[in-house]
């Protein structure tokens, strides 16, 4: 930074500006920080920074760009940062890129079987490139993906991530554990456990400087709706939903691609419990179309599923429910989630039985 201020633009500018902005970025200054970092990235053709690719891509694509650019856009650059890091001897920064590569793939709704195959390859590679932290992250990701595929029935492995004392405030990796606990509990329907881990996430992430915070808040909001339907923790659930919607509004203001579908689904679910039928339907459809546009096949399926449940349980329209469930089934099949395919098939079977 000092060199840039005193001597003007140089090769160090490209590295230090994304690094600096990745540290100081908050919700209120995100636009300015992104513009600074993006400007620095545009200088790559002017100066030779090939040796610094791991640092550059980690700070920009792993820590800043997700607020404004599609999750998918960061996957290949981060993978390149990982590969360059290993080949150039910058192992630690390369492994940071690897963690964000897999994280972005999961958030993007990439093929679960492909992600699992990649993770297993990386776990094998980590037997050579020793890193306990990265190995634990990969195992944590793997447990989530395995559950989503088949509830771990045929894809789980004995080795599990170890994150140490989860009550230790200085234990930074515990954030990853709590975040994926939220994902696993929500998708598998364990609402009380999801609430517990969601509250842990909220305490840890605070304002939320990383995408994990926003994804956790999204699932926290959806789970709050489920608890309200079950008439549990009404006050806390209403507050959780309010915070989740507020967070998605803030995030979608910068990136409709990554967050608008999440906001619309939360709003649809909110309207569904207030009996605003036509508004709820419009919002479900808006969430579906937004997820489709962004290529988030997993969240497109989730929006179809939620709309189907609404038509079945609230609107009393089994024909429309079946239509949405069939679309959800196609999405989940494409995603590769046998667990969710089985769930939707049971809903379809119940409609067929009740209609016979």
Q: What secondary structure does DSSP assign to 309-348, as a single string?
A: HHHHHTS--HHHHHHHHHHHHHHHHHHT-HHHHHHHHHHH
Mean pLDDT, all residues of the chain: 91
Q: Residue 288 and residue 14: Cα distance in Å, rounded? A: 39
What pLDDT sits at residue 10?
56
Q: Is the pLDDT of residue 125 over 90?
A: yes
What pLDDT sits at residue 101?
98
What pLDDT sits at residue 207?
46
Q: Residue 91 contacts by C-beta under 8 Å, 6 or more apart in sequence?
A: 85, 129, 131
What pLDDT sits at residue 355?
57
Alpha helices in the chain (DSSP H): 2-7, 11-24, 30-41, 53-57, 75-88, 91-108, 112-125, 132-150, 174-187, 191-205, 211-229, 234-254, 256-273, 277-294, 297-313, 318-335, 338-355
* Model confidence pLDDT, tens digit, residues 174-222: 888 999 999 999 999 999 999 999 988 877 655 445 888 899 899 999 9
pTM of the model: 0.93
Q: Residue 49 and residue 44: Cα distance in Å, rounded? A: 7
What pLDDT sits at residue 58?
95
Q: Is the pLDDT of residue 5 over 50?
A: no
In this predicted structure, which of 41-45, 264-268, 281-285 has the lowest mean pLDDT? 41-45
Tell me what the mean pLDDT of segment 215-233 comes to: 93
């Amino acid at each position: 930074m000092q060199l840039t201020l005193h001597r003007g633009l140089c090769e160090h500018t490209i590295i230090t500006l994304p690094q600096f902005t990745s540290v100081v970025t908050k919700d209120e200054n995100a636009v300015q920080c992104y513009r600074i970092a993006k400007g620095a990235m545009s200088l790559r053709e002017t100066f030779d920074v090939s040796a610094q690719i791991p640092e550059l891509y980690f700070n920009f694509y792993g820590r800043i760009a997700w607020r404004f650019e599609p999750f998918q856009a960061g996957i290949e650059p981060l993978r390149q940062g990982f590969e360059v890091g290993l080949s150039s001897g910058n192992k630690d920064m390369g492994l940071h890129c690897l963690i964000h590569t897999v994280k972005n793939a999961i958030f993007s709704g990439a093929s679960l079987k492909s992600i699992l195959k990649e993770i297993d390859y990386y776990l094998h590679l980590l037997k050579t490139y020793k890193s306990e932290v990265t190995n634990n992250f990969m195992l944590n990701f793997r447990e989530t993906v395995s559950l989503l595929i088949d509830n771990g029935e045929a894809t789980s492995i004995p080795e599990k991530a170890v994150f140490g004392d989860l009550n230790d405030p200085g234990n930074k990796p515990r954030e990853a554990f709590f975040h994926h606990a939220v994902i696993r509990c929500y998708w598998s329907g364990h609402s009380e456990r999801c609430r517990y881990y969601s509250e842990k996430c909220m305490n840890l992430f605070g304002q939320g400087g990383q995408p994990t915070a926003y994804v956790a808040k999204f699932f926290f909001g959806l789970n709050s709706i489920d608890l309200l339907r079950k008439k549990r923790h009404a006050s806390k659930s209403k507050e959780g939903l309010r915070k989740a919607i507020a967070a998605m509004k803030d995030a979608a203001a910068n990136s409709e691609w990554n967050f608008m579908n999440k906001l619309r689904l939360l709003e649809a679910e909110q309207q569904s419990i207030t009996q605003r039928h036509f508004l709820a339907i419009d919002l479900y459809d808006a969430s579906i179309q937004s997820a489709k546009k962004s290529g988030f096949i997993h969240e497109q399926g989730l929006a179809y599923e939620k709309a189907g449940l609404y038509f079945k349980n609230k609107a009393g329209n089994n024909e429309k429910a079946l239509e949405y469930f069939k679309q959800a089934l196609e999405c989940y099949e494409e995603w590769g989630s046998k667990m969710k395919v089985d769930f939707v098939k049971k809903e379809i079977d119940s409609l067929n039985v009740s209609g016979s």
